[in-house]
Amino acid sequence: MTLRLSTQSLYQQGLSSLLTRQAEMAKTQQQLSSGVKLTQAKDDPVGMATAQRLDHLKAALAQYDSNAQRVDHRLRMQENALADANDSLTRARELAIQANSGVLTADDRKAIAAEVVQLRKNLLDIANRDDGNGRRLFAGTRDGVVPFTDNAGGVIYNGDDGRNSVEVAPDVAIEDGDPGSQVFLRVRTGDGYARGSAGAGNTGAGILQVAQATDGTTWNGDTLTLRFTAPNAYEIVDGAGNPLVPPVAGTWSSGDAVPPPSSGLGVVFKVTGQPAAGDTFTIETAPNQDVFTTLQRFADALLQPGTAPSDNARRVNAFSSTIADLTTAQTHMMAMRATVGARMNDIDTANEGRSLQSVTLAESISSIRETDYAEAISRLNLQMVALEAAQKTMLQTQGMTLFSKL
């Protein structure tokens, strides 16, 4: 069998080889000039699919970054607000200690009351702050409302108890704030565990120095009241005013700690001054009280009239309760700031994780899509050699005709 190759076929094969080599060189040169080696899916279908998937991951990281910046901004605004609120409470506590000195005149107390009222207003303004983007810091998940409104001396909360949880990294969500109900309303009083108070109807000059739990295993949190049956005698009654069984009673003199530890109640009262028969002093589980009410009651106590010993004792008891309540409120604000700081640390950790992921993604995308100049230059050199070889082959093929033998 004889294989015949026509001159036209040889020319076509040579031309096709030249065009193929030139196309390969043009593609490599385009990759070198643009820096991109993957422009069409047909160049590398698997690589293109992988690059697109990585692009989606990169876009998701960018969205997480935007979310983190927004949450971090709100948390920083809240942290500043809590710091300002704590400053107001600190000043109010200083005024309560000053008022409790017992050397102030009625005019002095009136001036302090005016400052306390202003501090309360400042605190209300802080509670209604926004984040600079039209959203209130302490409205929970509700938008478009003023969280707190002052209604005849009482504050109404118009927000909710919700918290917006925002994703700042894959599988990492951080709350962008705390509801105002948690920050300003549900605040423990007394020492945070127990709270002592003097009866509103006391007519004597007894001053409550101490009312605290001494043994949490024996005191179960029930309300107990120290009631004076005579100026020098007392009994302990329950929250309904009924004597305990067995009875807990005894004699008393100013400054005594009662009841004795042998009573097994796990609480102690210490009263000084001259209480009257029927006067009461109570200990209970520390209730919640909003900070606005605490300041309002302080202002009201400052404006109480009268100069009798019983009037002075009533004011001193109110000031002592205010000092304890404000101290606990300050502790509460610091605890809230600590939780905000912890979330800000979580954001920093998430930012570091996203940064590492972004670098890894960028390297992966670069390896798939961008030109490796060393490899491309080496390939271009080889393609140039192949083109020269094809050209020489074409020339040699052109010379292989019968006419060259004539």
Asked if the model's pLDDT at residue 252 lies above 90, the reply is yes
Higher pLDDT, 101 or 280: 280
Average pLDDT over the chain, rounded to an integer: 86
Which residue matches tokens 């040699």?
396
* Dihedral of the alpha carbons of 235, 236, 240, 242, in degrees to the nearest 10: -50
- Please choose, from the candidates 259, 169, 181, 161, the residue with its C-alpha nearest in 3D space to the C-alpha of residue 218: 259
Asked if the model's pLDDT at residue 35 lies above 90, the reply is no
Q: Is 216 exposed, middle or buried (0-12, 13-18, 19+ CB in 10 A)?
A: exposed
pLDDT range class, residue 192, cuts 50, 70, 90? very high
pLDDT for the residue numbered 48 = 61
pLDDT for the residue numbered 404 = 53
pLDDT for the residue numbered 388 = 67
Tell me the pLDDT tens digit for each residue of 127-158. 999 998 889 999 999 989 999 999 887 899 99
pLDDT for the residue numbered 265 = 95
pLDDT for the residue numbered 45 = 66
- Please choose, from the candidates 195, 198, 199, 181, the residue with its C-alpha nearest in 3D space to the C-alpha of residue 292: 181
pLDDT for the residue numbered 101 = 86
Distance CA 233, CA 259 (A): 11
Higher pLDDT, 356 or 83: 83
pLDDT for the residue numbered 195 = 96
pLDDT for the residue numbered 362 = 72
Asked if the model's pLDDT at residue 406 lies above 60, the reply is no
pLDDT for the residue numbered 405 = 52
- Please choose, from the candidates 278, 276, 247, 259, the residue with its C-alpha nearest in 3D space to the C-alpha of residue 210: 259
pLDDT for the residue numbered 350 = 92
Asked if the model's pLDDT at residue 272 lies above 80, the reply is yes
pLDDT for the residue numbered 4 = 55
Asked if the model's pLDDT at residue 53 lies above 90, the reply is no
* Cβ pair 278, 261 in contact under 8 A: no
Its pTM surpasses 0.95: no
pLDDT for the residue numbered 356 = 87
pLDDT for the residue numbered 193 = 94
Asked if the model's pLDDT at residue 41 lies above 60, the reply is no
pLDDT for the residue numbered 308 = 93
Is the N-terminal amide bond of 246 cis, ω within 30° of 0?
Answer: yes
Domain locations in the chain? 194-285
Q: Which helix (H) or strand (E) holds 318?
A: helix 309-369
